[in-house]
C-alpha cells in the first residue's frame, strides 16, 4: 500500500505547508515517461521513510494552480518543503540515491 498523499489545491496547505515533517513532492503527469520511470522509486521512498518524511504527488494536469504556484515548467519536478518553505528543487528523472540526497539531511 502506498503511503504517498495525492495533493490538491484544497489539501495542500494542511498536508504540506503545516506538516511537521519534511515533504517530498513529485509534480508529474500521466503522459510523462520520465515521471513514470521515477514513480516506483518515489513510492519506495514513501514507504521506506514513512514517519520521517511525507511524500506527496501533484498531477500537473489536474492541479495546474499548484504547478503555477511553484513555477513548474518541466516535469518531473521534485520539491522538498520543510517548515512551509521550499528548500530543494530538482527537475528530471533521478536515480534513487539522488532522490534520497534531496531530503536525507533534513530528516
Active site positions, annotated: 32, 35
Strands 77-82 and 54-59: unpaired
* Longest CA pairwise span in the chain (Å): 32
Exposed/middle/buried for residue 55 (C-beta within 10 Å: 0-12, 13-18, 19+): buried
Amino acid at each position: 500500500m502506498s503511503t504517498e498523499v495525492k495533493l490538491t489545491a484544497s489539501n495542500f496547505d494542511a498536508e504540506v505547508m503545516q506538516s511537521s515533517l519534511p515533504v517530498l513532492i513529485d509534480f508529474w503527469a500521466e503522459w510523462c515517461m520520465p515521471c513514470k520511470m521515477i514513480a516506483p522509486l518515489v513510492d519506495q521512498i514513501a514507504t521506506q521513510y514513512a514517519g520521517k518524511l511525507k511524500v506527496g504527488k501533484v498531477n500537473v494536469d489536474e492541479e495546474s494552480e499548484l504547478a503555477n504556484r511553484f513555477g513548474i515548467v518541466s516535469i518531473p519536478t521534485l520539491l522538498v518543503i520543510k517548515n512551509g518553505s521550499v528548500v530543494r528543487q530538482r527537475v528530471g528523472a533521478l536515480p534513487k540515491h539522488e532522490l534520497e540526497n534531496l531530503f536525507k539531511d533534513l530528516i
